[in-house]
Amino acid sequence: MTRVSKVVMLGATRGMGRALARLFAERGAELCLLGRNHDELARSAADLRTLGSPLVAVTACDLEEPAGFVAALDEADRALGGFDAVVVTAGLFATQAALEDDAALTQRLLTVDFANTVLFCEEARRRLLARGGGTLCVFSSVAGERGRKPVVLYGAAKAGLTHYLEGLDHKFRSAGLRVVCIKPGFVRTGMTDGLPEPPFAGEPEDVARRVLVGIDRGEPVVYAPGAWRFVMAAVRSLPRAVMRRVKF
């Protein structure tokens, strides 16, 4: 078990990232929140201080602006006096229908959820390894487990991200880098607001509690809510002929 104590979080102003940041704060971790909306960052930081975090810094970082990643992580490093964990919950979602009709939105989503997330993780990885290791926890998705009709494009970006995280884990675990890939199922957040709800939908607070255990244990893959591990095992086993017929 490793209890991380200085955590950089990208995407903790809302949803699952926010719920996880609150758990870190309650157990006294020092935090640096990275994000694109200064007012939201300031509001979140104030909340986390009241929950018990002795230090909450905020730094500008937009996942659509990779040129800013180095400066953001340098700033986080200065603010925290070094960090032992980086958590990425920032991400972009759009429905398959919206993406099929909008090439610019598709480019944006593929860039944010895959290419730029990987570029951010590469900067984080270099810094963690330079100080002998640490934890890199990144939210991918069960959408990346199998090519599926409702998430052809979003799922492809998340599949690439999952693949990258697995490779990182294989390559750098022995050097002290603990890569934790989170695969949420359907979770009730702003991202899923208005979408039809499948069975086994979860709450961000429950997911955050499971993710924290995964981070402490350094689990390479965490499904949350846990039932999705079994749902996806079943989906992975379905023949293509069946996948072409079903709607999910």
When asked if residue 62 is in the footprint of ligand NAP (CB under 6 A), the reply is: yes
φ, ψ for residue 12, nearest 5 deg: -100, 15
When asked if residue 135 is in the footprint of ligand NAP (CB under 6 A), the reply is: no
Nearest to 111 by CA among 144, 62, 149: 62
Q: In angstroms, give the least distance from the CB of 176 to ligand NAP.
A: 25
Q: Which stretch binds ligand NAP (CB under 6 A): 11-19, 50-58, 94-102, 232-240?
A: 11-19
When asked if residue 184 is in the footprint of ligand NAP (CB under 6 A), the reply is: yes
When asked if residue 187 is in the footprint of ligand NAP (CB under 6 A), the reply is: yes
Helix (H) or strand (E) holding 158: helix 152-172
When asked if residue 66 is in the footprint of ligand NAP (CB under 6 A), the reply is: no
Task: Please give the DSSP secondary-structure letter assigned to residue 198.
Answer: P
Residues in contact with 47: Cβ distance below 8 Å, sequence separation at least 6, in sequence order:
22
Q: In angstroms, give the least distance from the CB of 34 to ligand NAP.
A: 7
Residues in contact with 14: Cβ distance below 8 Å, sequence separation at least 6, in sequence order:
40, 189, 190
Residue pair 48/21 in contact by the 8 Å Cβ criterion: yes
When asked if residue 212 is in the footprint of ligand NAP (CB under 6 A), the reply is: no
The contact set with ligand NAP (CB under 6 A) reads 11, 13-17, 35-37, 40, 62-64, 89-93, 112, 139, 141, 184, 186-187, 189-192
